[in-house]
Amino acid sequence: MSTSTDAPVVASTAYEPVIGLEVHVQLLTASKIFCSCSTRFGAPPNTNVCPVCLGMPGALPVLNRQAVEFATLAAMALNCRINQTSIFARKNYFYPDLPKGYQISQYDKPLAEHGYIEVPKSKTDDQNQEPRTENRTGLRTKKIGITRVHLEEDAGKSLHEGFPDADEKTAIDLNRTGVPLIEIVSEPEIATPDEAYEYLTRLKEIILYTGVSDCNMEEGSLRCDANVSVRPRGQKELGTKAEIKNVNSFRFIREALVYEIARQVEVIEAGGKIVQETRLYNSSEGKTYSMRSKEQAHDYRYFPEPDLLPLVVDEKWKAEIMKTMPELPEARRARLVMDYGITEYDAQVLTASKSLADQFEAAAKAAKNPKRVANLVQGELMGRLKARGAEIEQSPISMKGVAASADLVESGAISGKMLKDLYDLCFERNKDFPEVYEEEGRPQQSSDTSALEKIIDEVVAANPKQLEQYRAGKKTMIGFFVGQVMKVSKGQANPQLVNELLIKKLE
């Protein structure tokens, strides 16, 4: 679920922003895209290099089959059409981290086109007349188009710190040169910073489910640039755009967009003109700064890469790749809602990662009441993990443990209060539920009828007003009495038994 930023909204509603996103994702192949060098992150600088990725004269690139399959799988998951033939092209520019003087990319014939990502409909554009659809779980969504997905090689990295004379010199690490990338370009159809945030969240989730990348933003496996312009509301023609580069979290991208939209409106309203340029976001100041004027496509002098054949992904190969497609988050959510009777919100939380969803399903299948398993994960497990700052993977209570505890509550063997106490002990002792349950000597909740009846008498005597209401026909008051009895018994009573005894007493 999205949370809105506290940042000021665009002052003037006379303007509407238009946002497009370019996302680079490193593929998890063992070797680089055009040579057999390792892609391992964190190796000593300039150790994973060879004449091909260093761009030595005469060295010839050989395309990595796995990179093509990963890129195709990702593009299919993003609902793209795969082009049977795509062409590698040289994108020419000079930069210290690019020893060849050109990057092998794809230009007018990319691997895939015409995809989309569905994002939840944002509250802020209710007034817009854009077409909306409903997804399989009935959530109102908007489709954001994906123009293209293409394959390319990564460049090296400039190092500005971490070595003795770093204040005077910049060092170059070429280990990253030639690591396979896909670039995912959206249509300029994103209407708000919140929508951009949602798009990126969904994109990352889908890519993670396919397993073709770890999408680790700190290590640069997922990087995002945003194009943003504003125009008078209702105008067809696009305004001049600025590109915001090198923002390293989705939250910062949302903040950078909020700032940049307000800046552009201010410039225009003051009678100024927006220049096409690349801007950097300073997250500690919350502002964007001009870096350089933006290159136009023709500045790169793209031409077909003469050392590589056209890439052909025929129907047979496509079908083989399609066979490796896992169930994607959207479909999985819909199925969880259907199969386990849980809410859309529960399904969202439980499908946040593929591994969590897998664990949940295994546990829910084994439990008597899957809905209770979902409730316990959300109500009892997630909160405790959050308080500890831990991920579900570090939970002392496994999904099997959650299922076991759910069954005990279901059968009335333990109360909700006892379950909470046992969960606390699991976190204290860093042990799974069944182990702690045994250690605590399988605590029994009070099913001693005569003791309970005594408590009930006390509670009823102490609350004559509520008793009157109940007898006057307000049957829901039973809940009040159950709660009081549970309180007096310090949560040790069996609620089902309390309920039965109370009804007998009150009638």
Q: Which residues make up the interface to Zn ion (CB under 5 A)?
A: 35, 37, 50, 52-53
Instruction: Give me the least distance between CB of 42 and Zn ion, in Å please.
Output: 17
Strands of 303-304's sheet in order across: 102-106, 88-92, 303-304
Pick between residue 37 and residue 347 the one whose CB is nearest to Zn ion.
Answer: 37
Pick between residue 181 and residue 349 the one whose CB is nearest to Zn ion.
Answer: 181
Pick between residue 45 and residue 145 the one whose CB is nearest to Zn ion.
Answer: 45
**What gap in Å lies between CA 399 and CA 378, rounded to an integer?**
12
Cβ-in-10-Å burial (0-12, 13-18, 19+) of 79 comes to middle
Nearest-CA neighbor of 51 among 177, 151, 171?
177
Can you read off the two tokens belonging to residue 374? 């979902």
For Cα atoms 100, 301, 71, give the angle at the middle one, nearest 5 degrees: 70
**What gap in Å lies between CA 374 and CA 378, rounded to an integer?**
6
Strands (E), 154-286: 157-159, 171-173, 180-186, 222-232, 242-247, 277-282
Pick between residue 52 and residue 196 the one whose CB is nearest to Zn ion.
Answer: 52
- Spell out the residues 6+ positions from residue 49 whose beta carbon is closer than 8 angstroms to its own: 37, 174, 175, 177
Instruction: Give me the least distance between CB of 175 and Zn ion, in Å please.
Output: 9
Residue written as token pair 């779980």: 137
Instruction: Give me the least distance between CB of 49 and Zn ion, in Å please.
Output: 6
**33, amino acid identity:** I
Cβ–Cβ < 8 Å for 489, 455: yes
Pick between residue 110 and residue 178 the one whose CB is nearest to Zn ion.
Answer: 178
Instruction: Give me the least distance between CB of 322 and Zn ion, in Å please.
Output: 30
What is the CB neighbour count within 10 angstroms for residue 52? Answer: 21
What is the CB neighbour count within 10 angstroms for residue 290? Answer: 11
Pick between residue 34 and residue 259 the one whose CB is nearest to Zn ion.
Answer: 34
**489, amino acid identity:** S
Instruction: Give me the least distance between CB of 156 and Zn ion, in Å please.
Output: 12
**What gap in Å lies between CA 396 and CA 495, rounded to an integer?**
28
Can you read off the two tokens belonging to residue 403? 């299922």
Pick between residue 37 and residue 493 the one whose CB is nearest to Zn ion.
Answer: 37
Instruction: Give me the least distance between CB of 44 and Zn ion, in Å please.
Output: 15
Pick between residue 156 and residue 495 the one whose CB is nearest to Zn ion.
Answer: 156
Cβ–Cβ < 8 Å for 332, 137: no
Helix and strand numbers, DSSP H then E, in the chain: 16, 17
Instruction: Give me the least distance between CB of 310 and Zn ion, in Å please.
Output: 23
Pick between residue 34 and residue 209 the one whose CB is nearest to Zn ion.
Answer: 34
Instruction: Give me the least distance between CB of 40 and Zn ion, in Å please.
Output: 13
Integer angstrom CA distances of residue 196 from 23, 225, 251, 256, 265: 12, 11, 10, 11, 19
Instruction: Give me the least distance between CB of 424 and Zn ion, in Å please.
Output: 53
Pick between residue 51 and residue 479 the one whose CB is nearest to Zn ion.
Answer: 51
Instruction: Give me the least distance between CB of 232 and Zn ion, in Å please.
Output: 51
